[in-house]
Amino acid sequence: MKILLVEDDRSIAATVVEGLTAEGFVVDHAATGAAALAASGYDMVLLDLGLPDMDGRDVCRQLRTRTAAPIIMLTARAEEFDRVLGLELGADDYVTKPFSFRELVARIRAVGRRTVDAPADGPAPDDLSGVQRIAELSIDRRTRRTHVGAEEVALTAKEFDLLAFLATDTGAVRTRTEILENVWDAHWYGPTKTVDAHVASLRKKLGNHEWIQAVRGVGFRLEPPA
């Protein structure tokens, strides 16, 4: 996997590049937003939000219009609002500084796997070959495209995986642990609130909060709005 690291702090960048290279990744480094937008040929982006020439959120937004490569934000902004905003802008995951290198590698591998693999716990392959329709919602796992009515909904890789997983058993309640294990990774190191942030972003994009219902203290279920 070739990773584009967008980080203006040279010392942090050098440490991350050295560590990821030792883990078998190929890493290119961009120190500015402009350099990141000019780069090509990468499979994943690690994006610091505190860049000298552009707001990292603007870089994320522009990258998402140019590439389907997963984007993991690296930032010291830990508030829920910032996490949700980042996901809505197109990020697939959000790592708060300071982070352990072990966690970063685990996130990279988990996002990479979930981008190319279908959910492990789902319908039989025959059920995934066509378009699944739930009321006006349609989910095409083969092309990874989602529509509400005639309008296509632009989802990040992680948002699509979350929606597809909930849709494998419409109406069934999925716990946060189940979601993390199937959509993220069985050895997830992050907080379960990551699920809530993605659900909030997905609800907004689907255009109706009621598509994904919260079951207090348990998890979430996908159902057509009343």
Local confidence pLDDT in tens for the 226 residues of the chain: 899 999 999 999 999 999 999 999 999 999 999 999 999 999 999 999 889 999 988 999 889 888 888 899 988 776 666 667 777 777 888 888 878 888 899 889 888 876 654 333 333 333 444 688 898 999 988 888 899 998 999 998 889 999 999 998 888 999 988 888 888 765 555 556 778 889 999 999 999 999 999 998 889 999 998 7
Structure token pair of residue 46: 């690690």
pLDDT of residue 153: 93
pLDDT of residue 181: 81
Give residue 19's identity as a one-letter amino acid code: G
In three-state secondary structure terms, 218 is coil
Reference 199, options 185, 188, 186, 183; nearest CA is 183
pLDDT of residue 188: 55
Spatial separation of the C-alpha atoms in residues 128 and 39, rounded to whole Å: 35
Spatial separation of the C-alpha atoms in residues 141 and 53, rounded to whole Å: 38
pLDDT of residue 182: 83
Strand 212-215 versus strand 219-222 pairing type: antiparallel
pLDDT of residue 148: 93
Spatial separation of the C-alpha atoms in residues 7 and 154, rounded to whole Å: 27
Residue 13 · residue 7 · CB < 8 Å: yes
pLDDT of residue 114: 64
Structural domains in the chain, sorted by start: 2-116 (3.40.50.2300), 125-222 (1.10.10.10)
Spatial separation of the C-alpha atoms in residues 49 and 23, rounded to whole Å: 24
Spatial separation of the C-alpha atoms in residues 57 and 51, rounded to whole Å: 10
Strand partners, 145: 140
Spatial separation of the C-alpha atoms in residues 19 and 200, rounded to whole Å: 33
Query: To 10 degrees, what angle do helices 56-66 and 80-88 make?
Result: 30
Reference 72, options 206, 81, 83; nearest CA is 83
Give residue 46's identity as a one-letter amino acid code: L
Number of H helices, E strands in the chain: 8, 12
Structure token pair of residue 57: 């959120």
Q: Please report, for residues 47, 78, 208, the alpha-carbon distance to residue 38 in angstroms, rounded to integers and kept in the order given.
A: 14, 28, 36
